[in-house]
């Protein structure tokens, strides 16, 4: 990897280690992992890789089915938190530090390759998609759950974009993984039996848009990074505060795309 590439990865890792993503995963995203595991048809004896697994929202439920599961993530702090959660549920799985764009696994070595709101945040989509395909055996399953561009999290990223540092050249917005047309471009003829369904996650823990904004400012790495970028400009901070609160007002249905396909 080039020096520039290493710098990008280091910044990405540090961003996800900031705040308290394990809290958000547990308090907001917990229902999503079992949804993905069920859609993927994971069961006993299967070899499963969870890419950008975070704290194991999908990897742990997959392991509890009896599958042989490897949870991989770029951020070791999230893997450590996941190991604790797995131990509390007596789930047996392997935790591996890994870059979604350069996975350290053999070609065609997994029956199911999945990611629950994880791989969507790898900045270079084609590279990440290529790795998902490479490590999945022919006839195996690729299963993804990603926030959509038009849903709450997609609109959150659109709201933050004018205040964020410029992305690396060639990087693409995370919510594009929630667009079936984008996935069709990424995977092409390498997959068959594609199913793509938009669903919503009910989130009713926030009493106001301001409460939701302050929660994201405290726990969510991408939001923390954006506010750090404008910290020296109080007017921009105030403008983003207002925009975030307005966005969060009444935002109780968060749309995501549930995608499954067969590796050709």
pLDDT of 183 higher than 60: yes
What is the distance between the alpha carbons of residues 23 and 20, in angstroms, rounded to a whole number?
6
From residue 145, alpha-carbon distances to 19, 86, 104, 232, 236 in Å are: 23, 21, 22, 36, 33
Of the candidates 38, 29, 27, the residue with the CA atom closest to the CA atom of residue 61:
38
| Element containing residue 101 per DSSP (H, E) | none
Per-residue confidence band for 1, with pLDDT thresholds at 50, 70 and 90? very low
Using the predicted structure, report yes or no on whether residue 247 has a pLDDT greater than 70: yes
Query: For residue 6, what pLDDT is reported?
Result: 76
Question: Is the pLDDT confidence value at 2 over 60?
Answer: no
Percent of the chain with pLDDT over 70: 98
Q: pLDDT (tens digit, 9 = 90+) per residue, 191-221?
A: 999 999 999 999 999 999 999 999 999 999 9
What CA–CA distances, in Å, run from 10 to 26, 95, 123, 127, 218?
25, 19, 13, 17, 21
Contacts 24+ apart (CB under 8 A), 67-71: 67/42, 67/43, 67/112, 68/93, 69/93, 69/94, 70/94, 70/95, 70/96, 70/105, 70/110, 71/95, 71/96
Asked whether 120 and 42 are in contact (CB, 8 A), the reply is no
Does residue 5 carry a pLDDT above 90? no
Domain residue spans of the chain = 3-202+252-263
Dig out the tokens for 234 from the structure: 């109080």
Residues 6+ apart with CB under 8 A from 231: 237
Supply the pTM of this predicted model.
0.96
Model pLDDT, residue 4: 53
The CATH code of the domain at 3-202+252-263 is 3.40.50.150
């Amino acid at each position: 990897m080039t020096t520039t590439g290493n710098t990008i990865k280091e910044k990405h890792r540090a961003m996800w280690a900031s705040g308290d993503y394990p809290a958000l995963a547990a308090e907001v995203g917990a229902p999503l992992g079992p949804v993905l595991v069920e859609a993927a048809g994971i069961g006993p004896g299967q070899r499963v890789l969870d890419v950008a697994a975070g704290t194991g929202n999908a990897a742990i439920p997959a392991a509890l089915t009896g599958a042989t599961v490897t949870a991989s993530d770029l951020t070791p702090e999230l893997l450590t938190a996941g190991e604790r959660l797995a131990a509390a549920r007596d789930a047996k799985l392997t935790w591996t530090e890994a870059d979604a764009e350069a996975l350290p696994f053999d070609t065609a070595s997994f029956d199911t390759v999945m990611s629950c709101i994880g791989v969507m945040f790898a900045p270079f989509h084609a590279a990440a998609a290529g790795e998902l395909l490479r490590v999945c055996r022919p006839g195996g399953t690729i299963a993804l759950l990603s926030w959509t561009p038009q849903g709450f999290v997609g609109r959150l990223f659109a709201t933050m974009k004018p205040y964020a540092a410029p992305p690396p050249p060639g990087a693409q917005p995370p919510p594009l993984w929630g667009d079936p047309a984008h996935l069709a471009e990424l995977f092409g003829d390498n997959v068959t039996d594609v199913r793509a369904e938009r669903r919503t996650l009910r989130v009713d823990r926030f009493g106001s848009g301001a409460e939701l904004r302050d929660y994201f400012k405290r726990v969510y790495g991408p939001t923390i990074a954006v506010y750090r970028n404008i910290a020296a400009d109080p007017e921009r901070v105030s403008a983003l505060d207002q925009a975030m609160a307005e966005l969060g007002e009444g935002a109780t249905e968060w749309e995501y795309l549930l995608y499954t396909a067969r590796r050709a």
